[in-house]
Each structure stands twice: as C-alpha cells, then as structure tokens.
Amino acid sequence: MTQVTNHYLSWIDEDKELHCELLHTENNTINIGRSDKADIEVFNTSVSRQHIELSWDNDCLKIKDLNSSFGTWVENVRIVAGKYKTLKEDTEIRLGNLSMWYELRRGDESQEMMQTCFHTPKATDEVEISSEINGFILKLKALLQENFGNNTVNVELINNINEELLELVSVQERRLKEQRILNSISHVLNRSLTLCELLKTSLNLVSKVLNAERGFVVLRNQNGNNQKNDLYEILTSRHFDDICWPKDNEALQKFSQILVNRCFDENKIVIVGDIQLMDSLKDIEDIKRGGGRSIAVIPLVQDSIVIGVIYLDNQQRAHNFNTEQIPFLTTYAAHTSIALHNTLLYKRAITDDLTQLFSRQHIDEGLALEIQQVQDNQQELSILMLDLDYFKQVNDNYGHTTGDLVLQAFSNIIKEHISDCDMAGRIGGEEFVVILTDTDLNGAKDIAERIRLATEKEEIIKDEQVIQITVSIGATSYDKKKHGSKTLLLLEDADIALYQAKEKGRNQTVCFS
C-alpha cells in the first residue's frame, strides 16, 4: 500500500507556543505574513504583512520572498526576492527573526508534531505493520503449518508469535516517534535563540511531549552570593503564576524545592508518580492548594556540573511521568544543555561582563545591520549617546567598586526604558549607546528624557552614604543622504550632540541638528 505523505510547517510564534500547519497541496499558492488576509497568519514584528509565497511544482514545495522588509532565509542563506526556490525535506526557513521548519510526515502521523508518544495504548488501538513484517508473519505461519500441521499447540504458538511481533512493532513505532520528536526538538533549539527564548521554547516543547500542565526552568545564578537560595534563579515558567525562587525554606510552595535541590546535587532525573503516596516531601502544597500530583525534574548539565533544572508537573493525573520516559528525557536534556551552552558562550562573547549590555563590537555590527534594513525599507532609525556626568569623581571619592555599582544601576535604568527590539551597549568607561529601531528623532528624545529623569532620581547607597548621578545624552536620527551606509558618521552626529549637552551644563538631552 502506498504511504500518504503530508507537508507541515511549524514555528514558535510570539506567544511562545508551538504552531503546526498542514500545507494542502490542492492550494496552488499559500501566502504567509503578518496579516489576517494571509493564508497563514503569524504574529511577529519582523514579518511583513505579505512576506512569502509557497507554491507546488510536481508535489515539490517552492518558496518566494514577496519583497519583505527583513528578508527570508533558507538554511541560513538569504533568498532573492521575487524568485522561487525549491525546499528540501527538514528545512529551516527564517522570516525576519522568526524561524519555521518544513518537514514531511507519514499520513498516519498526528498533525500535532509534539503529541505525546508515551500514552498508554488502548485496547482498540490498531497496530499498523509494514508489508515486510506482514510477509514475514505469513511465511512463518506457512512454515509452521507445513512442519507441524494445524493442531492446537501449533495454533497457540502462531498466535503467541503474532502477539509478540505486534508488540515489537508497537515498541519500535514508539521509539521511532521519540527519535523524530528529538530530531525536531534539536532542530528548533539549535537555531539562533536568546537565553530566555531558548529556555521557554525547550520548556514548551517537552511539556507538549509529556503532557505536562505546568513547568519552569531554574538556573544557577552566577551573580548570587554564597547562600544557597541566592544561587538559584527561575528564568522562565509555563502556567505557574507569579513563581519565584523562595527565600524561606519553611514556607510551602506549589513546587518542591527538595526535588530541585536533589536534582542539582545528584545529577539524576527525578520522577514522582503520585505525590499523595509520598510522605517525605513536606515542602509542597496539597494538590487542592496548587501543588502538582505527578512530577518530573530534569538536570541540565555542562562538564558534569548541573547548571539548571527543568521542573514539570501535572495536577490532574497520577503517574503522568514514569521511568519509561527516562531514556527520552536524557537525550532531550543533552540537546537542551548543548544549545544552552552555545547560547551562553555567544552571550558572553557579545556582552559587557559588568553591565550585561552589548559590547562595542556587537553594537557596531548591529547598527550596520539596522542601517542596511532602513535603507531598503525607508523606516526610521535613531541612536542615543549617553555619558554619566562627573563619573571620575565617583571613582575618586568612593572607589572603583562603588563606580561599578553605579554603572550597573544605570545599565538597569536603560534596560527598563527601551523595548526588546532596541539595542543598548557600553562603548567606553561610562559611555553608552542605544539603537532605537523604527523611532524618529522626537521619539528618541522622549525615550532619552525618561532615561535622564530616572537616572536623576536614582540613589545608590554605599556605606550609609547616598550617591546620586546624572547623565548627558545626545540624540540623532539616520539620514540616508548624509550617512549612507557609514555607521561612524551617525555615531559622530550623536557624539556632537552629546558634547553640546555637556557644554550646556550636563544633565540634559540635546538633539543633533
């Protein structure tokens, strides 16, 4: 029998949920974009309203970029707008900064790519066997009948063999699906993701596979002090409301700190089938008060050291997690740990250690990319140059350790007042740059003033002394005729405006003109 093959497109949207779309071959073309008029609507600011078009050619899928604002990449190669490119099986597609993956699946596989493969088979479930195994069974039956006849013992033997083969086929099918899911998870996690995106995506994927209702990821906080509770930080959660790592070990929580600590200490997957059957966990709330009933805790390991833990639970079902899942979870955790390691390495390479803002090199690269995009799309782009006033006096009067505290406090103020699509970096001792995408000069001045006023109100306390700081800011906007593709010219204009702010008495914003 000919096996039906279906085409699927899957992605993680801005809601951080996994979306999976069946592509119907009877549709001549399929438009994808950030518009309710598109055949497939996605929610991502880097995706154009009409971004790409998919079409069929002899059951092969082709892709064409519809002159989108931020471009389309296939396997990390940007495609030429307006020209079709044939897609291969298991191909990554990137629309702006939104990654999708295209894959082929058998017709008998669920449309939900991450549907659990660990469900208990029902008596009514039919096991589909391949023509090769079916042929083997028929030959075996014929051989047994030829040598032993149709006596009762022979019939029972044939039935037993048949049941064993069907069970073997069922197990192999489940293992095959596990491998397909792990392959898909690995494909997703090894994309270019930020730390929070990576952990949230990983948590969402494994939750769907294991039918977990809730979960969170906790990492060791490298900035914590020597107290054990301060070493842990919950970076992302799923369906846990207002969750944070508690300071009070005595207070009951909706999750078990004991299990998390055991996972960190022992580097082992911990599975609790039914919390109601355990008397040793005294730190978790009753199910009616928000605790989980079935729990799985998974270590994330680097160089034999547990750096993080994934905590999953199900409040309704007992034994939702079991030991049969451990081989799958072990491989899944390895994929996540590798992706996490790569993400942390990349983050360290592009960020300033003290402020956790971007480095000068990464800011230069990011600004060059933004200029290229606004040249193509005629969008607005502005930058701010910021310099703390009289910072040398802070170092001279209070010491460099206090100066570091001031820089960290000011960096946090910048982060609080810019959006996720903007970039902020430290380019000198007390000098900073902010790249404001899709923002004109008036908008840039508004943001600069909010940062300036918040800085003016900030108080840093050191040895019972209150230290107050101010900042001078220069703002400018990109002009295609003047700046062209030269980042240095744009930075120079912002620097001139900053110098004027200093000359006029500091603690103010000046726009370049």
Contacts of 484 (CB under 8 A, 6+ apart): none
Cβ atoms of 182 and 332 within 8 Å: the answer is yes
User: Which burial class, exposed, middle or buried, applies to 218 when counting CB atoms under 10 A from its CB (0-12, 13-18, 19+)?
Assistant: buried
> Could you tell me whether strands 232-238 and 91-95 are parallel, antiparallel, or unpaired per DSSP bridges?
unpaired
Contacts of 360 (CB under 8 A, 6+ apart): 425, 426, 427, 428
Cβ atoms of 267 and 306 within 8 Å: the answer is yes
Cβ atoms of 208 and 115 within 8 Å: the answer is yes
- The single residue of 53, 213, 370, 430 carrying the catalytic annotation is 430
In the structure encoding, which two tokens stand for residue 473, read together?
Answer: 């800011």
Cβ atoms of 238 and 203 within 8 Å: the answer is yes
Indicate the helix (H) or strand (E) that contains 446: helix 441-457
Cβ atoms of 430 and 388 within 8 Å: the answer is yes
| Helix pair angle (326-350, 195-210), 10° resolution | 170
| CA–CA dist 39, 42 (Å, integer) | 10
In the structure encoding, which two tokens stand for residue 195, read together?
Answer: 């730390």
In the structure encoding, which two tokens stand for residue 247, read together?
Answer: 């300071």
Q: In 128-261, at which residue ranges do the beta strands (DSSP E only) sit?
A: 214-220, 232-238
Strand, coil or helix: 286: coil
Cβ atoms of 389 and 506 within 8 Å: the answer is yes
Q: For this structure, is 430 an active site residue?
A: yes
Cα 101-39-188 angle, rounded to 5 deg: 15
| CA–CA dist 158, 141 (Å, integer) | 6
Q: Which residues are catalytic?
A: 430
